Amino acid sequence: MSNLWMPFTQMSSAPPPEFAERGEGAWIHLKDGRKVFDAISSWWVTLHGHARPEIAQAIGAQAAKLEQVIAAGFTHEPAQQLVRRLGEKLPASLEQVFFSDNGSTAVEVAVKMAWQYWRNQQDRNRTRFMSLQGGYHGDTLGAMSVGDPDLFNPVFEPLLFECMRLPCPHTFLGDDDVQAKEEAALATARVALEADPEGYAALVLEPLIQGAAGMQMHRPQFVKELVTLAKQYDVLVIFDEVMTGFGRTGTLFAGEQAGVEPDLLCLSKGLTGGTLPLSVTVANQKVYEAFLGDQLGPNDPTFYHGHSYTANPLGCAAALASLDILENEQHYKAIEPWHLSGLERLKGHKRLENLRACGTVAAMEWRPAKGAKYNTAPELKAAFLERGFMLRPLGPSLYIIPPYCTTEAELAAVYDVIEEVLSA
């Protein structure tokens, strides 16, 4: 009998899935009549709210006109426009837009580009990658290799390539040690680079917020100093803004706050407003030009990578409609103060620590009390769901990343339910 095998789910013990019927604003309406507040933007993708009519109309109109065309040798209006619109928003140095389908492939493309960049210049030394502890870059093998192995099943380890991982100076409200943690992390980076000054191909990181590590946050000045250091050693810098892109951190891109520009930038999740799978890897001219040359010569520099649905017109049309909403509404700028006042209420709760916020994202760590009702993240998740809230703690980290249409009152209700459940 056929069955639906769910992602990240132990099927032998999982409760049956909730049946979602329709979405509106920040709410998912279930088939049985209940409704659930989507406090995690359905895995961090839903930007403006569910089923936004402007995006639905854009997808429908595009589907009736041109639903798909091969992306090698052909192009179309939505892809051309999206390249132009992204160019207007990104740092001027990021000009070359390569499409793929999801966050993992966007990173996979960046990693392969960084690798081939050096091979195309006949460099045999730069074979190593550097990333941050707690980093998550997707679930395909290359993206897993640069991610933190603690976030994956160790069964895959023999298939992954080696990566040097620096400590990441996580911080939170009222953190007195942040400076010392940053200096220690930078010192580790300096030692590694000095020991092998021409050995690293690229540094990969999620700027400002490490999502899958539990929405762990670090300061923009750390990103700036680390990137500056990497560039002193000519290491290519890859920003994975798959989650942080499109306003999540309070600015359009997290990199803006650090004031440094990567060589390669990965975007997905919010790119289509959370409606269709689409991603881009944007390269600067330096990277792009290393791939130009004689295809028939002894060292063909061409980037041989592509996917069936590369630059899918429906995805591009959805992205354009989403960018219009983002520009017109700019709601993402309003949410951080609401988080801060919610966190202020939870401050001092004996089961909560490391309270933090960055733009539209807030997070904290929780400790089960002795003999408490909720001792694990799944139990906590079930307790929230019972009360009509979709919250999905990652281990001890409890985080909120709501769609931008969320009102101040709706967000305050999320903090109410956290308080209620943790006091139960």
Ligand X SMILES: *Cc1c(COP(=O)(O)O)cnc(C)c1O
Span from 21-29, 62-70, 78-86, 239-247 in contact with ligand X (CB under 6 A) = 239-247
Between 100 and 120, CB nearer to ligand X: 100
Rounded Cα distance, 48 and 257, in Å: 22
Can residue 243 be called a binding residue for ligand X (CB under 6 A)?
A: yes
Planar angle of CA 129, 135, 136, nearest 5 degrees: 105
| DSSP secondary structure, 373-417, as one string | S--SHHHHHHHHHHTTEE---BTTEEEE---TT--HHHHHHHHHH
Span from 102-110, 174-182, 285-293, 353-361 in contact with ligand X (CB under 6 A) = 102-110
Could you tell me the smallest distance in angstroms from the CB atom of residue 140 to ligand X?
7
Are 130 and 203 in contact by the 8 Å Cβ rule? The answer is: yes
Span from 32-40, 97-105, 190-198, 378-386 in contact with ligand X (CB under 6 A) = 97-105
Span from 164-172, 240-248, 402-410, 412-420 in contact with ligand X (CB under 6 A) = 240-248
**207, 220, 259 from 170: Cα distances, Å:** 12, 12, 19
**Amino acid of residue 173:** L
Are 96 and 288 in contact by the 8 Å Cβ rule? The answer is: yes
Angle at which helices 335-346 and 408-423 pack, to 10 degrees?
Answer: 20
Could you tell me the smallest distance in angstroms from the CB atom of residue 98 to ligand X?
16
Could you tell me the smallest distance in angstroms from the CB atom of residue 2 to ligand X?
24
Between 136 and 399, CB nearer to ligand X: 136
CA trace torsion 242, 162, 169, 345 (10° rounding): 50
Give me the 279-318 binding string for ligand X, x by CB under 6 A, dash otherwise. Answer: ----------------------------------------
Between 131 and 268, CB nearer to ligand X: 268
Sheet strands (E) in 206-297? 209-210, 216-217, 236-240, 264-267, 279-284
Give me the 119-158 binding string for ligand X, x by CB under 6 A, dash otherwise. Answer: -----------------xxx--------------------
Can residue 402 be called a binding residue for ligand X (CB under 6 A)?
A: no
Task: Give the residue, chosen from 206, 225, 256, 365, that forms a contact with ligand X under the rule CB under 6 A.
Answer: 206
Task: Give the residue, chosen from 47, 59, 107, 418, that forms a contact with ligand X under the rule CB under 6 A.
Answer: 107
Instruction: Please work out the total of residues on this chain that contact ligand X, with binding judged by CB under 6 A.
Output: 13
Can residue 100 be called a binding residue for ligand X (CB under 6 A)?
A: no
Task: Give the residue, chosen from 102, 120, 145, 322, that forms a contact with ligand X under the rule CB under 6 A.
Answer: 102
**44, 119, 208, 257, 413 from 359: Cα distances, Å:** 14, 39, 10, 11, 18
Rounded Cα distance, 50 and 274, in Å: 8
Q: Which residue is nearest to ligand X (CB)?
A: 103
Can residue 268 be called a binding residue for ligand X (CB under 6 A)?
A: yes
Task: Give the residue, chosen from 134, 142, 211, 315, that forms a contact with ligand X under the rule CB under 6 A.
Answer: 211
Are 412 and 338 in contact by the 8 Å Cβ rule? The answer is: yes
Span from 98-106, 162-170, 289-297, 391-399 in contact with ligand X (CB under 6 A) = 98-106
20 in helix, strand or coil?
strand
Planar angle of CA 76, 82, 87, nearest 5 degrees: 130
Binding site for ligand X (CB under 6 A): 102-104, 107, 136-138, 206, 211, 240, 242-243, 268
